[in-house]
Structure 1
Amino acid sequence: MQALNVLASIVICLSMVYFVMLMGSGLTHLRRRRARLGVQGDTTYGQEASPAHPTLRVYFMVPCLNEEEVIGLTVAGLTRLEGATTLVIDDGSDDETAARAEAAGGDRVEILRRVAPDARKGKGEALNAGIARIRDLVAERGEDPDDVVVCVMDADGRLSDGALEAVLPLFEDPTVGGAQLQVRIRNRHAFLTRYQDYQFWGIAAVTQFGRLGTGTVSLGGNGQFARLSALDDAGPKPWSASLTEDLDLAITLAMKGWELTTTPDASVDQQAVEKLGLLVKQRTRWYQGHMMAITRLPEIWRSPELSNAKALELSAYCLVPWILDLPWSFFFHYCLVMVALNHEAVFAFTDQAVALVIVGVVWYLLAFAPALITGWIYWRRDRRWSLWKCLLMGNSFVVMNYLSFTCVWRALLRILRGQTSWDKTARVREKVPDGAAPAAPSTIGPRGPARQEQEVPV
């Protein structure tokens, strides 16, 4: 029993230290950049054009597998951006994905078709096919890979208006190899989708700011920017077959000596999963990929390009599912049982009702501190929701722990069974908003039309 108490205390302390350090560092970096927590709280997405950068060229890659429900609006938004090339990678779709992308982008989009047996081998392989095409285009146009920025967008992703004006200046620093945007959920009309927004916008975004101190901001699958020369450093195929190919790429770029950063002045929005069963599948895949990242720990600590601080931060992030999430799924219940069995001893000194209430409130404030803090931050990030609703959402995190518990154990079981299948996130058809009509056909940049239809042969 004593050993379990000690282990529970260690896990709780490690969790609190990790939470406080990342959230505290994130808030500090926001203050240093003179940015408010509510920055971008009421921004719009994919509605406005953006001027071309004087020196940097942008290439968008949008990997797609049966994305006819959402691809049109995404392509329409990207093709409004001046000086950018949009490449849609149709990874063996059997619906109208390619046709809708072409209709939305006209001459400003290129469709790269992948067919069996090369298609449907995971997002990483689709991206590797796309980057090969981009390298060809860059060579044909005589562009310098140091001045080319590649952005990976999900088929449902939309950049915040003015995003490139905030992101591209980051790459004027020659040491920056990648940048990841904060994620906003747009279909946050129900508890499950609002909860996902709370996780992304109220927690993950702030902790990403916290990783600015070590230059090891984690890359995601949507709104992921990388310098082409950094991707070249990562090899002919920068993206791995990992279930979290974005995290794998971030580790690789960091080990190559590139800085990974973010900005509070731009974001990307996407759909949330609307059904619990599908959310469990998605998060299980994320957990499995994250958990398998520990196989790269020896590389991290052998890398001469990583400082001790960078190596420690990357290692801590890779270990989170193993040393925090899995143990907490047990100790969470252990602590509840211990409090229930020993409640008389815990509250023995409270012989009056007022004292009992005071002790109960203090216990609640201490035990639920992370939930209350993140709820308050979520409210500060978007004042359109009331403080009480945001605090309730923070408190729901305690119950929604069971989502994480379920997914982390499912992921472990899949690892033990050697299962590596990839489940695509389901999409929901959206109503086309006013002003979101497909872009009119036009040319791209100074070198003429970019649209071509390529087919990867069998």
Structure 2
Amino acid sequence: MSGWLILVAGYAIMLSWPISTVALVTIGVRYVASRRQDLVARSLQHGDGTPEHFWIIVPALNEEVVVGNTVKAALGLSGPGHTLARVLVVDDGSDDRTPEVLAAIDHPRLHVMRRDLPNARKGKGEALNAAYRYIAEQTALAGVSPDKVVLGIIDGDGQGSRNILLEVSRMLRDTAIGAVQVQVRIRNRNKLLGAVQDLEFGSIVNACQSLRDMLDTVGLGGNGQFTRLSALLALGDAPWSACLVEDLELGLRMHLSGVGIRYTSRAAVTQQAVVDVRRLTRQRTRWAQGNLQCARYLRQLVTSKRIGWTSLAEVLHYLLSPWANALVTVALAGTVAAGSVALAVGHPLSLIGSWLVLGQSAAVWLIVTWFPGFVWALLHRFRLRDETLPRLLVAALAYPAFLLLGLVATYRAIARQATGRQAWAKTERLAEEEIPTPALALAA
């Protein structure tokens, strides 16, 4: 009897994934129609906090093939009343042609901060902190209220949509909101790995963030995060830490301090996909290890009076689900392996009494594994309409392998954290067609 209970529990765990996928899709679709109207209605209840000054920070370490386009795209962004953003590039000790590429962009709204060793190359968090302190100093010297100053983070390969500052300003009209995360999309999705990553960001992450927005638990990403200077000042001299996912930790610290964070899919930052399996595994291992490092906030989250139980459950799910998935996968794989060996030697287990039962279980597992990817592909096509359905369905077919890669990254992250390894090689960038520098007439 206990064997059947274990089997039923195993099927329940597997089926929870497609069921939760359908629920997330439903939330994602309904959110677009309802939540947005609610936010607009509430936006001025706490006063008008519309930003008046924008800084785009671009952390750069050996970004020669992409940083030129990133800076030019950022210089072309404008906010309410045609307010133009200043761009601050933090050259964190680059030893390629990054300094020469930046020097060739002659624009009055571009400032380059060069960090040389031994201060350079101590992580993205330290580079962002240096930029933050510079902007805070310039803001104080100009006599500008930090409530009206917004710092946006766009990575070296990132490019913001034309409306990004307008949308961020709309979200920040509510003075109770201290940060906004915009949607992330993939530009080079002509290859399969890029298409799968765009399926992930464009559908899955978007739906998850929409749910978190409803629960007031939005997480900040490393690319496309916008924060009020006043919210960062409340966190001290170094709001970003040395954590491998400094963006996730900053979001947790803001939630614990009572700062509101919103998410919008009406504006986006595009970035390059990692199209090499080895490098992609390395990137996801770093993300998983950073997630593990943020587990030290669990006690504060559980005891915080600022976070409700529903919101707390979502945060805990976000932090703990990768590790639960890794353990469940090992348990299910071990059960299938043990059942196969037992059948081969003529001593079947009570759970898997015949090859037919094993085949039926494998069929269920395959259906459950592939079903969510196809749902996300249909949602991607319905919402964004910038990819063909056949390409999205191919990406959906590859999605289970992509998840398997994520599990490998999780196991590697545990090993790295246990052995104290923190160093990382930089993600490789791909060359793109050069875009023109914005006209100096826009510099006023």
In structure 1, distance between residues paired with 2:106 and 2:337: 55
Give 1:395's aligned residue.
397
SS of equivalent residue, structure 2 residue 391: helix
- Count of residue pairs the alignment pairs up: 415
In structure 2, distance between residues paired with 1:92 and 1:237: 20
Relative to structure 2, which stretch is displaced further, 90-99 or 130-139?
90-99
Give 1:344's aligned residue.
356
Residue 80 in structure 1 maps to residue 73 in structure 2 = no
Q: For the aligned residues, what is the CA RMSD?
A: 2.8
**Which one has more relative contact order, counting CA pairs under 8 Å at least 6 apart?**
1
CA drift at 1:105:
5.1
CA drift at 1:9:
4.5
CA drift at 1:150:
0.7
- The superposition leaves residues 73-115 of structure 1 with CA deviations (integer Å, 9 ceiling, x where unpaired) of 1111111234311100010111221332242352211011111
TM-score by length of 1: 0.83
CA drift at 1:395:
2.6
In structure 2, distance between residues paired with 1:422 and 1:74: 23
Q: Which amino acid aligns with 2:138?
A: L
Residue 295 in structure 1 maps to residue 292 in structure 2 = no
SS of equivalent residue, structure 2 residue 264: coil
Out of 371, 374, 377, the residue aligned to residue 372 of structure 1 is 374
Written as runs of structure 1 = structure 2, the 5 A alignment for 1:86-125 is: 86-104=87-105, 106-125=107-126
CA drift at 1:130:
0.7
CA drift at 1:424:
2.0
CA drift at 1:264:
2.1
SS of equivalent residue, structure 2 residue 108: helix
- The superposition leaves residues 126-148 of structure 1 with CA deviations (integer Å, 9 ceiling, x where unpaired) of 10111000101111111111111
Residue 331 in structure 1 maps to residue 351 in structure 2 = no
Relative to structure 2, which stretch is displaced further, 58-67 or 383-392?
383-392
Q: Which amino acid aligns with 1:344?
A: L
Relative to structure 2, which stretch is displaced further, 332-341 or 379-388?
332-341
In structure 2, distance between residues paired with 1:288 and 1:67: 24
Q: Which amino acid aligns with 1:423?
A: A
TM-score by length of 2: 0.85
Cα 1:431/1:55, change in 2 over 3 Å? closer
Cα 1:248/1:190, change in 2 over 3 Å? same
SS of equivalent residue, structure 1 residue 254: helix
Cα 1:139/1:442, change in 2 over 3 Å? farther
In structure 2, distance between residues paired with 1:363 and 1:54: 50
Percent identical residues? 33
Q: Which amino acid aligns with 1:75?
A: V
Instruction: Structure 1: give runs of 5+ residues left out of the alignment.
Output: 36-52, 349-358, 446-458
- The superposition leaves residues 37-71 of structure 1 with CA deviations (integer Å, 9 ceiling, x where unpaired) of xxxxxxxxxxxxxxxx9752111111110111101
Residue 168 in structure 1 maps to residue 165 in structure 2 = no
Residues 22 and 375 of structure 2 are in contact (CA less than 8 Å); yes or no, is this contact kept in structure 1?
Answer: no
Written as runs of structure 1 = structure 2, the 5 A alignment for 1:76-225 is: 76-81=72-77, 82-104=83-105, 106-225=107-226
In structure 2, distance between residues paired with 1:179 and 1:376: 27
Written as runs of structure 1 = structure 2, the 5 A alignment for 1:233-244 is: 233-244=234-245
Cα 1:379/1:54, change in 2 over 3 Å? closer
Residues 149 and 225 of structure 1 are in contact (CA less than 8 Å); yes or no, is this contact kept in structure 2?
Answer: yes
Cα 1:186/1:115, change in 2 over 3 Å? same
Cα 1:337/1:158, change in 2 over 3 Å? farther
CA drift at 1:13:
5.5
Q: Which amino acid aligns with 1:57?
A: H
